Structure 1
């Protein structure tokens, strides 16, 4: 971490708007201190002296936490979030706070106050959201890794759009204390990095009481012993031809290595998005209701109406969504009695253009929010761990993402499988 790193961040940020704020002076001072500690033999582990970026809805003491909103532009954090304390203990350096959709409530990075987050591969396309700034910081090598949040796919969506790795761990595995909530029962802290080894290092550093200091994943598993679940319904419906082709290639690689592939049907999974929309709507509205009218003209376009509408969601409708979640949890637990992991596309398409409100491919047309969260949202509703890894690119050079889903607390398994897949696809 040096002046050249800071200069690169400032230069690239003018193009892609990855950061809302850069902690240049503090980061350089912390880098010098880390160097002294390491040279004196006080090495804290693989994150010691490593620059990380944090989504700007995560509290870092004495830094502004804007939540991507002009309403909170002067919102100074008085304490570190739980995850920040963990990272500081490991000696990591917080290089800056990354851009996001306002209050983490969208998936395309169209922030009119802090700049539109642009895809690092093609600036005319979205980087995804709401953790788009975090993903771009990693994709452009402005940070070693980044932390985001994921309520309906907000880590995995930008990971897929930017061609990097994104992990949403099991619900509440990483505490959200000190993270501005959008929906307290669906919010997850997530990790973005270039490869699965880096994701593994960051995950282990964030876990409470973890003493793991290894820089490598667990030894490779015997792929021939795995049972791979491939959903025949929902996840392969309305999918771009090139995306499906890449996913099928991976499935065939598993078969060639002796893994068992089981084609399954997931009951009522289409209800997940309806339940998710009502849960986020009701919980988000509750969190914003006391400031809606005072700041009506300051909210991003659409957010005011979204939270206002959330106030009309009835208690019975909210409770119905919670019942749907319980049923889905039971169904998925039944599925994981017979499979080790699930494979799905992360997104049905590659990164859409920034100007798109609807997206079209083949004979399909869909609202952009629905299209980008359709395959990720069910695993926020169920709280299951899910990983997005890049598989290659489409005809326009835009990345394609594969989603690997495991049973509760099977992060090591899905990240190890993710690494194996990435190795096979090179």
Structure 2
């Protein structure tokens, strides 16, 4: 058994492997054993490439033995959302529209870069079908379950990635985010999820949902791990140094804005956790002030229109060829895109520019914005609504309203754990101006140095 675990900081894993203090093959075997024990109850993975992972670990070990640089993620076991193409497994997109999946072929650029950095790909994680949903209640492969309580949703659409990280079934994972699909499951499962500035990471080799809103990003235990993953996925030494340096940057000179929009209609349990998080942040920054962004009022509806129109543009051929290959609920949501008009799409794009302008205006006065990731706790899998202070709300609407605006504007946005209630995690959202990725990560790292929520583990992982 390895002396390291999937909960060890990624940098420490890589150092131990590089200095031959631990065998990457042993670590990978340990994680594969954990997957065998716990994936049947969590359903975090759709497929596991055990043989390929062990072969990759052996290559890293050989590289180290030959005194070659194995990379900044040497021996780190990672999972890939099954929306992203990989060379060692088919890509299903959580659907049957590709039959048994798009055949294994060439890695997507972000996967290729992770492998070059020394990471070991374990397998492909479960998701909401074709990424069109926020719960990962997959109608073909079964729901991805929350490690904190398996009767509750893991969030979506990158639910399997979040569940795998939280349960220790990988050390880090890759997700995608169109209206919150990295940050939503990160909040639900109590992990760190980062959506970078739009196009900072390439979407090439990723099955699209809404190309103008889709983002790829890391899901990890800590902000420090997310920064290391970002550097590796950008793929240059300079990027690795840049993002690692950001973790050491002081937050003392930052002016923080508390976004009124991102704190509306919170469940009392969430509101208490966010309030405590804001009190923690106070001494870490120069100033905290409340801000209003009226330009966001139409953001959620515009995001839904853009997503619906762009999704149907891609999926039209598959819907016409094999409509029954979609789960009934996802098919119904997808087909609603046919009702959208060109006028509605163009109006939504105009709202998008208004949203961007609103953020630009606010970021002239503050460096970073803060709010909640979700307004309430993750619901049970068999519930089709969420409850906010006793009132029912549509799950998709409730889970996307604090997240969709940042996708419209292409802003870097981070969700970090900030509390627990009734045994379920709560997420704090930190987001900044376009290109302000390092500042967002710097504040997130400062918050995690002062708190312990990111170190809490679900019962299944203890």
Alignment TM-score, normalising by the size of structure 1: 0.96
What pairs with 1:335-414 in structure 2 (closer than 5 Å)?
A: 335-394=362-421, 396-414=422-440
Match of 1:228?
256
Match of 2:278?
251
Check whether the contact 2:49–2:88 (CA below 8 A) recurs between aligned residues: no
**One of 424, 449, 461 as aligned partner of 1:423:** 449
Match of 1:291?
318
Shift of 1:86: 1.0
Match of 2:15?
none
What pairs with 1:254-269 in structure 2 (closer than 5 Å)?
A: 254-257=281-284, 259-269=286-296
Shift of 1:209: 3.3
Distance 1:253 1:289 in 2: 48
Shift of 1:319: 0.6
Match of 1:83?
110
Query: What runs of 5+ residues in structure 2 fail to find an aligned partner?
Result: 1-26, 453-462
**Residue-by-residue CA offset, 1:336-365 (whole Å, 9 max, x unaligned):** 011010000000012111111111131532
Distance 2:451 2:443 in 1: 12
Distance 1:421 1:5 in 2: 29
Shift of 1:334: 1.1
Match of 1:181?
208
Check whether the contact 2:129–2:139 (CA below 8 A) recurs between aligned residues: no
Distance 2:36 2:402 in 1: 34
**Residue-by-residue CA offset, 1:32-76 (whole Å, 9 max, x unaligned):** 111110122112322122111000010012420000012222420
**Residue-by-residue CA offset, 1:129-187 (whole Å, 9 max, x unaligned):** 11000111111111111001000000000000000100000011101000000000000
Distance 2:374 2:223 in 1: 19
Distance 1:270 1:143 in 2: 38
User: Equivalent residue of 1:407, what SS?
Assistant: coil
User: How many pairs were matched up?
Assistant: 424
Distance 2:240 2:255 in 1: 30
Distance 2:88 2:423 in 1: 41
Check whether the contact 1:200–1:217 (CA below 8 A) recurs between aligned residues: no
**One of 47, 50, 59 as aligned partner of 2:73:** 47
Check whether the contact 2:250–2:442 (CA below 8 A) recurs between aligned residues: no
**Residue-by-residue CA offset, 1:284-330 (whole Å, 9 max, x unaligned):** 01111112133222211222222222022111110111110011101
Q: Does 1:13 align with 2:39?
A: yes
Q: Does 1:137 align with 2:164?
A: yes
